[in-house]
Amino acid sequence: MSSRFLTTSQAATLCSVTPDTVLKWIRTGHLSARRTAGGHHRIDRKDLEQVMAPVGRTPSSDSKAVQRHFRYCWEHHGNGEVPKGCLNCAAYQMRAQRCYELANLPAEIGHARLFCSKSCEDCGYFREVRGQVTNVLVVTDDSDLESSLWAQADKVWFNLRVTDCEYNCSTLVNYFRPDFVVVDCSLGEEETRDITNHLLQDPRVPFVRLIIAGVQGDFGEECEKEVFARIEHPFSIWDIRECIQGATGEGQATADSLAHL
């Protein structure tokens, strides 16, 4: 993929989405593309990088939440540069937040393990990543709900991002690797199903846990088997905290110390 112009399949591989999703971005005007004489789409790398830029609201500069100062494994080991051997590594190509999640993949598609110790517990990068703060992404188009979540975001230990649709969710995942995603069923059954199915198949977040927010019957029974938990709609930052705290085993001391703020 050294060419400046990419096919839809190449663009889809770089974004960890399907070619149909890339075509959808082109048709809706989210992504610019030109056509060849044969009628095929070609995408400029710069245009692709632009649509994959961070989206979604971020905390204010005075937020009291604990922030994640994240480095990828190749940044950790390359002192700011990408080691040559990492370019063909699945961890680099997928922008995997936790390289050890790919350790058991077959050798031909797995990570290169250039800097691996005998075990993950012996790796300084593993210890650094393991102690990072939980990331939570909320997908909702309810502006009042978004405002209420941000009003309390500095009272919890996890990092919060909010976005409003499947497209923005996909682009945001490229930079903000969520550990949990809360999907608001008021987006509609089809949109909710598309978002959850996309996230469950997204190799960038292989262990993401989905939380569905809605009332009974809002979401198809066949999809509920794939989600981590449900919460009632409307929900608060405290509902999210309670839902994920048992799974992460973290945050109790931080949450208790911030509760009085």
User: Tens of pLDDT along 33-92?
Assistant: 888 888 888 998 888 877 666 555 555 444 433 344 567 788 788 876 788 888 888 888
Q: Are residues 92 and 86 in contact, defined by beta-carbon separation less than 8 angstroms?
A: yes
Report the CATH number that the domain containing residue 34 is assigned in CATH.
1.10.1660.10
Q: Which residue has the higher pLDDT, 101 or 47?
A: 47
Grouping H, G, I as helix, E, B as strand and the rest as coil, residue 9 is helix
Q: What mean pLDDT do residues 196-224 have?
A: 75
Write the DSSP string, 153-209. GGGSSSEEEEE-SHHHHHHHHTTS--SEEEEEGGG-HHHHHHHHHHHHH-TTSTT-E
Rg, Å, the chain Cα set:
19
Q: Is 56 within the bounds of a domain?
A: no
Q: What are the structure tokens assigned to 216, written together?
A: 């009974």
> Residue 224's pLDDT is what?
57
Q: What mean pLDDT do residues 2-26 have?
A: 80
Other beta carbons within 10 Å of 225: 7
Answer with the one of 104, 130, 156 that is the final residue of a domain: 130
> Residue 70's pLDDT is what?
60
Answer with the one of 88, 110, 130 that is the final residue of a domain: 130
Task: Enumerate long-range contacts of 109-114, CB under 8 Å, 24 or more apart.
Answer: 112/85, 112/86, 112/88, 114/77, 114/83, 114/85, 114/86, 114/89
Q: What are the structure tokens assigned to 197, written together?
A: 């199915």
Same domain as 251, residue 146: yes
Same domain as 36, residue 82: no
User: Tens of pLDDT along 110-150?
Assistant: 778 888 877 887 888 887 777 677 889 999 999 899 999 99
d(CA 110, CA 104): 7
Domain with 25 in it = 5-51
Place of tokens 């945050």: 251
Q: Which pLDDT band, with edges at 50, 70 and 90, does 259 fall under?
A: very low
> Residue 122's pLDDT is what?
83
Cα-based distances in Å from 36 to 5, 7, 41, 118: 11, 10, 6, 50
Q: How far is CA 91 from the centre of its chain?
A: 15
User: Tens of pLDDT along 141-190?
Assistant: 998 999 999 988 888 888 899 998 888 888 788 777 788 999 999 898 88
Report the CATH number that the domain containing residue 189 is assigned in CATH.
3.40.50.2300
Whether the per-residue pLDDT at 200 is higher than 70: the answer is: yes
Same domain as 107, residue 218: no
The answer to pTM > 0.75 is no
Count of CA atoms in the C-beta half-sphere (13 A) of 105: 18
Domain count, the chain: 3
Q: What mean pLDDT do residues 15-28 have?
A: 79
Amino acid at 183: V
Q: Is 185 within the bounds of a domain?
A: yes
Same domain as 95, residue 159: no
Q: Are strands 180-184 and 229-231 parallel, antiparallel or unpaired?
A: unpaired
Other beta carbons within 10 Å of 204: 18
User: Tens of pLDDT along 216-243?
Assistant: 665 555 555 678 888 988 899 999 999 8
> Residue 261's pLDDT is what?
32
Q: Is 60 within the bounds of a domain?
A: no
